[in-house]
Structure 1
């Protein structure tokens, strides 16, 4: 009995030490854990509730935390690490998607958006082109026909030539009605949406005094600075646990206010530093100026282009997360690219200033830049030093790019829009998409 008592005391002591250690780790690494659980909760909610899929785990990046995540999908989607600490919660609102929030949300009623005026909504793919079909094959898998191929995570491809749907393919479990997340391709759409509001006289590129708390040098930050990523606000875009980008997306209920509260690290306009934070500050300004709040995209670019599948998810303050959270079918992404190719003309109406795309694709000479060739929401083929980013493509090619391999290439001289969506977190998919665009040019000559 005495021996058993000692064993019990030792076991209880070990459990106590483990609990204390685990609690200590939680408080020490709490913010890191919360960014991981926030990602998992938001991902599971959006994949199931918005995209209608049942396998959200296939959209989690490789990370040592993933095996320890516990996710419960329901009316409120929750995620925790082994049940320790307060779980992160994601709440779904019809028409607005999923939002990380600890309590109920009141986002208002989403404006209905029909597909009227969208030429790709019910389009039938033009007559089959064997060369183009072979090129699309290569965008889904790498390898010779007689070999075991390596799947590269492509989930949807759409090719448009001269405004006509000429090629389309989907991976198993996806089709033309499945919304897919564009990640930072959302920034390119933000540029277009901003252009529409400039055309309407709501804002202008040189507007400053954008946030009430900017009473210092930040007051000189303009709309154009935010679009060009040269606002100078302190930032780190590294997708890692605990960095500003992951803190903003998975810990901050009001993302625009969080970023607006950061100090200047550089003089305004002096350094180009890619920043999702800048885009979210911009959308906080646009949502406020228009008075549309969460409904901003639906009453502007969604309605105008007939993007009936599109959902732009907001933060808990009700501001669309314009840096990252636009979901749409590949066909609707292609409509966005066609709108940019047509310089803002849509169904006979000029919705952007006539020089908007030219301005967006004109580069500012920054002595220091971590993303040379980035204009206002788009990446250009011609780099500041005159070399080509993609030598195999025409000089006028430009692109929208997103996390995990999302990419849309627009080539006005060829009347071509190529959209690739998928999940390729461990390698770049851009070479695959560029090759698809080059092959499409050759196939469609």
Structure 2
């Protein structure tokens, strides 16, 4: 998901050409440039209003067009992104409890339910005093021993370790602390699976539900199930490549109703036969769940957030009120650890079974398909033992599974160790995964006590 770098390297060339040739070239490249201005507007709004930081530019990867982007707020709840302050304007609107939404005008999202931290064992826990071995492991995760440039490229911003249900170690980069929400990107998908599981437990939806959209009634898309959307085996035509004119780019930066856009994609494969990674599938699912429950943008707050006491969590919606469940969940690293602990406990929280008892087992089962672009992908969680019997991470226990997001976001769960490790950062280029595996391996070796 090298979104700005991939698209805007090309777009930068056209900025120069458009200046020289005129508006015709600009109109041709406007969809690509809108991706950049939309990303910049949303990023500036969210980093400032949700993350509470004043360095939004540090979350924009280096690219040739970066110096041409103009973005910022006029002091209101509106943030505008543009090219040279004039072209391809995009607006992001902040709503308390719901974060930032790209839209031409302020979206009407309704009230955001209050979420208390009560019941969350990590929110107000004192900073843990970790062992020397754990401190050393966390130090290396932040680049200790690397050159200054390599440590900066690694870009670790937070590590949280939970062992036996207790917070045993944490560390944060300068400018971040235990109260700073961070964007999980595609880890949002794993949280969405937990929301879905809660609704299944409540009898409001089943994994076999189909006929999910009215426009599918007359064709094979009506056979697509809730489970297939979670497993990304819907068969809907999709391209997760971040480039001009691809579905993922259009969904995030060109559609006010993302669910409707994804639902309008044609069928490419028979449902259940091909697995194709698709952020559209998860966001479409949330549009279905938001409508069926009548909760709209408040869906995450009235389910997972309230139940676990995720008081920092914000899942940003589109202009139609659909939570963008593929990508836009913000939470403190401690709250991300809470999500991992909830999964580790198989959905049992303070004595209440909030997920079906077999939910996580089913989530970690990788169903056979004719073709996949993501081996080891279950119902939004990735597993360590791949379908061919090989291990993704041989250094770690076989039962390891994890949620993963762009730029090095991880919630890694190890049931046999009763361990959850969260790593968050901004890592566009470095091999963060090797560092994450080494961190978990060292945490296990340190006894995490």
Which TM-score tier does this pair reach, normalised by the shorter chain?
over 0.9
Change in Cα spacing, 1:414 to 1:100, as seen in structure 2 (3 Å) is same
Which residue pairs with 1:243 in the alignment? 246
Q: Among 195, 198, 203, which residue is 1:196 paired with?
A: 198
SS across alignment from 1:141: coil
Alpha-carbon distance, 1:367 to partner: 2.1
CA pair 282-428 structure 1, distance change in 2 beyond 3 A: farther
For 1:379 and 1:305, the matched residues in 2 are separated by 22
Pairing of 1:42-81 with structure 2 (within 5 A): 42-74=42-74, 75=76, 76-81=78-83
For the pair shown, the structure with the greater C-alpha radius of gyration is 1
1:347, CA displacement in angstroms?
0.6
Bigger mean CA offset, 414-423 vs 119-128: 119-128
CA contact (8 A) 1:157 1:419 kept: yes
User: What secondary structure sits across from 1:404 in the alignment?
Assistant: coil
Q: How does 1:69-218 map to 2 (within 5 A)?
A: 69-74=69-74, 75=76, 76-141=78-143, 143=145, 150-151=151-152, 152-215=154-217, 216-218=219-221
1:148 to partner: Cα distance: 8.0
Check whether the contact 1:142–1:149 (CA below 8 A) recurs between aligned residues: no
Alpha-carbon separation, structure 1, partners of 2:46 and 2:150: 30
Contact 1:36 1:241 in 2 (8 A): no
Is residue 2:364 matched to residue 1:361? yes
CA distance in 2: counterparts of 1:298 and 1:163, whole angstroms: 23
Residue in structure 2 matched with residue 33 of structure 1 by the alignment: 33
Q: Is the 8 A contact 1:126 1:164 kept in 2?
A: no
Alpha-carbon deviation of 1:19? 6.0
Residue 213 of structure 1 aligns to a residue whose secondary structure is: helix
Structure 1 residue 431, shift from structure 2 partner: 1.5
Counterpart check, 1:233 vs 2:236: yes
CA contact (8 A) 2:128 2:170 kept: no
**SS of equivalent to 1:150:** helix
Does the Cα contact within 8 Å between 1:71 and 1:78 map onto a contact in 2? yes
Deviation for aligned residue 1:149 = 6.0
1:372 pairs with 2:375: yes
Counting matched residue pairs gives 428
Give the corresponding residue for 2:286: 283
Q: 1:25 to 1:18 in 2, by over 3 A?
A: closer
CA distance in structure 2 between the aligned counterparts of 1:156 and 1:150, rounded to whole angstroms: 13
Q: Does structure 1 conserve the Cα–Cα contact (< 8 Å) formed by 2:33 and 2:88?
A: no
Aligned residue for 2:374, secondary structure, equals: coil
1:334 maps onto 2:358 in alignment: no
Tell me, in whole angstroms, the C-alpha distance in 1 between the residues paired with 2:404 and 2:161: 16
* Alpha-carbon distance between aligned partners in 2 of 1:25 and 1:403, rounded to the nearest angstrom: 32
Distance (whole Å) between structure 1 residues aligned to residue 417 and residue 105 of structure 2:
50
Give the superposition deviation at 1:128. Answer: 2.3
CA distance in 2, matches of 1:327, 1:199: 25
1-structure distance, mates of 2:144, 2:363: 34
Aligned residue for 1:260?
263
1:101-148 alpha-carbon deviations (Å, 9 max, x no partner): 101221111000000000001112443211111000111115369x98
Inter-partner Cα distance in structure 1 for 2:130 and 2:102: 44
List per-residue Cα deviations over 1:137-163 (Å, max 9, x = no partner).
Answer: 111115369x98633101111000000
C-alpha contact (below 8 Å) 2:94/2:101 kept by paired residues: yes
Contact in 2 for aligned 1:196/1:300 (Cα 8 Å):
yes
> Judging changes above 3 Å, is the alpha-carbon distance between structure 1 residues 33 and 121 closer, same or farther for their aligned structure 2 residues?
same
Residues 329-358 of structure 1, C-alpha deviations (whole Å, 9 max, x = no match): 000000000000000000110000000000
Distance in 1 between residues matched to 2:228 and 2:140, nearest whole Å: 39
1:25 is displaced (CA, Å) by 1.8
The change in CA–CA distance for 1:29 and 1:18 in structure 2 (over 3 A counts) is closer
- Partner of residue 306 from structure 1, selected from 299, 309, 313: 309
- Does 2:417 align with 1:414? yes
Residues 443 and 217 from structure 1, CA distance in 2 versus in 1: closer, same or farther, beyond 3 angstroms? same
Instruction: Provide the secondary structure at the position in 2 that maps to 1:296.
Output: helix
Moved more, 59-68 or 44-53: 59-68
Range 135-144 or range 433-442, more displaced: 135-144
Cα deviation for residue 237 of structure 1 reads 0.7
TM-score norm. by structure 2 comes to 0.93
Q: CA deviation at 1:61?
A: 2.0
